[in-house]
Amino acid sequence: MKNALSEIYLGLKSLFIGMRITIGEFFKPTVTVRYPHQTLEIPPRFRGHIELVRDSATGQPKCFVCKLCEKACPSDCITVEGVKPEGARRKTVTSYRLDFTKCSLCGSCVEACRDGAIRFSRDYNLAGLSREEFIMDLFQKLESESPKPKTITAPPVNTTAVSPTAPVAAPQPPRVEPTKQTPVVAGGSVEASPIPAAQKVEVK
């Protein structure tokens, strides 16, 4: 009897303690981030899909198509293509196809990249109506982000950047001018495009 009563009493007390705790929470401020209206800061090591990095000096992609990322990728989702324009020391990227449907964000490509030419993007708002929307061309993406490169007067900068021994008179055209390119998909048209660009630079 005594045990039963004390059990009832303790049980009842615990109920009131529980209610006191919840009413305490009731008057505390809410912690919800109201997502479409507010967003949290993305943590610095967030892994979005990869993206190409611009060379801050030239405004062009740093990538020179060494294809190490392609080889490093365990699920074969990267296909890089590029051309070596006449007079240039390095290749320049013309198409960087990422099949994000297969990518597991392992980051092997970013680790493999010697030049820091690719990095994780901070793009988490990925939604699409078809599979094909996730097979993306990172090069075109980069181009569309800022259609006009910051520095058109690249040649002298380029030479210093690449190597002091490079002939100053022969500027490296390809870095400069993918501005007016029509969509770059096939290799052929890609090869065609840098040439007018090169011409432009030479005219200058």
Judged by the rule CB under 8 A, the positions of this chain that interact with other proteins are 8, 12, 15, 18-19, 21-23, 25-32, 34
Of 153, 159, 136, the closest CA to residue 78 belongs to 136
| Closest CB 193 distance from other proteins, rounded Å | 48
Chain centroid to Cα 120, Å, comes to: 5
Buried b (16+ CB within 10 A) or exposed e, 114-148: eeebbbbbeeeeeeeeeeeebebbbbbbbbeeeee
| Closest CB 29 distance from other proteins, rounded Å | 8
Nearest 5°: the CA angle 32, 37, 39 is 65
- Between 18 and 116, whose beta carbon lies closer to other proteins? 18
- Between 22 and 130, whose beta carbon lies closer to other proteins? 22
| Closest CB 87 distance from other proteins, rounded Å | 60
| Closest CB 41 distance from other proteins, rounded Å | 20
- Between 26 and 183, whose beta carbon lies closer to other proteins? 26
| Closest CB 11 distance from other proteins, rounded Å | 9
- Between 38 and 56, whose beta carbon lies closer to other proteins? 38
Contact 95, 80 (CB under 8 A): yes
Q: 132: which DSSP letter?
A: G
Contact 186, 151 (CB under 8 A): no
Q: Is 53 exposed, middle or buried (0-12, 13-18, 19+ CB in 10 A)?
A: middle
- Between 38 and 165, whose beta carbon lies closer to other proteins? 38
Contact 23, 88 (CB under 8 A): no
